[in-house]
Amino acid sequence: MTPSDASGAASAGRWSSLERPPLGAAALERALVTDGGLWTSVEVVAATGSTNTDLAARAAGLPEGAVLVAEEQTAGRGRLDRSWVAPPRSGLFFSVLLKPGDSVPQERWGWLTLLAGVAAASGLSRAAGVDAALKWPNDLLVTVNGEERKTGGILAERVGGGPSRAGGSGGGVVIGIGLNVTLTEDELPVPEAGSLILAKAAVTDREPLLKAVLRSLEQWYGDWRAVGGDPAASGLQEAYAANCVTLGRHVRADLPGGRTLTGTAEAVDADGRLVVRTAAGEHEAVGAGDVVHLRSVR
């Protein structure tokens, strides 16, 4: 589906809600695609299964900086193959294509998920006036009625093929970001979810929010790439730790293979792993798994 298809669909049926106006693809592209900038195209479609799936399938033929936005995702995916669905135009559902090339060692590409989290949180804090926090590794949290609720998630997937804009290896990473913007309590997929409007955001207009997140992502990615993906030199490791509410919490990590680890989350190491101190005083770095915040043990 092309941007013009999205514009046509916006004028009919369920796309006519004035409270949830459609995104303006042309205006977004004018604002974001600039000479020498990261973003090379912005495409808005009315609906798709998953922006990550679509962009990954086309990655070989696209330059770095392609952005795909959907007004509705019917098969959106989060970590551990969880679904991410929401009413049309109630949130921001988009994916971007990044190709670090040989300027960043591939063992550091794993930081892109955390980088996207920092960028999204800082962009939303500035544009929406809400305190967005991070739950390791890829959840965005806001406060609703005094409790932390997930309002967004990030999914990064490696793709191959095609030359990068800077030359070098053609592989890349597609990063998908989903944000609940105007979902009401009745529309939330689970009671533990949240949205910007429920967090009393000052701004819920999706266009300035999308521009703010993408500009923040461009800045953080440029700084990280300029120092070869070094998370300390770019300030990324410090920024992530400062905004990560998992640190200092008693957590349970459900690890691959069915093993469970319980302890206190103490740090994010140089590889982006969560360092957990067990009751026995041992430290273990968690690189993959589902982390649950537990009530503190007094």
The answer to whether the beta carbons of residues 245 and 133 sit under 8 Å apart is yes
H-type helices in 33-185, by residue range? 51-58, 111-128
Kindly state whether residues 262 and 122 are assigned to the same domain: no
Residue 4 has pLDDT above 60, yes or no: no
The domain tally of the chain equals 2
> Residue 139: which domain range?
3-243
Kindly state whether residues 137 and 268 are assigned to the same domain: no
Kindly state whether residues 169 and 235 are assigned to the same domain: yes
Dump pLDDT digits (tens) for 73-131. 997 555 545 566 789 999 999 999 999 999 999 999 999 999 999 999 999 999 999 99
Kindly state whether residues 158 and 286 are assigned to the same domain: no
Query: How many CB atoms lie under 10 A from the CB of residue 297?
Result: 8
Kindly state whether residues 59 and 110 are assigned to the same domain: yes
Kindly state whether residues 220 and 259 are assigned to the same domain: no
Dump pLDDT digits (tens) for 148-203. 999 999 999 999 855 555 444 468 999 999 999 999 999 998 889 999 999 999 99
Q: Is the entire prediction scored with pTM above 0.85? A: yes
Helix (H) or strand (E) holding 294: strand 290-294
Q: Which CATH number fits the domain that encloses residue 157?
A: 3.30.930.10
Kindly state whether residues 190 and 137 are assigned to the same domain: yes
Kindly state whether residues 229 and 288 are assigned to the same domain: no
Kindly state whether residues 107 and 145 are assigned to the same domain: yes
Tokens standing for residue 98: 């990044």
Residues 6+ apart with CB under 8 A from 201: 128, 129, 130, 142, 181
Kindly state whether residues 285 and 222 are assigned to the same domain: no
Kindly state whether residues 236 and 106 are assigned to the same domain: yes
Average pLDDT value over all residues in the chain: 90
Distance CA(198)–CA(91), nearest Å, equals: 13
Kindly state whether residues 112 and 52 are assigned to the same domain: yes
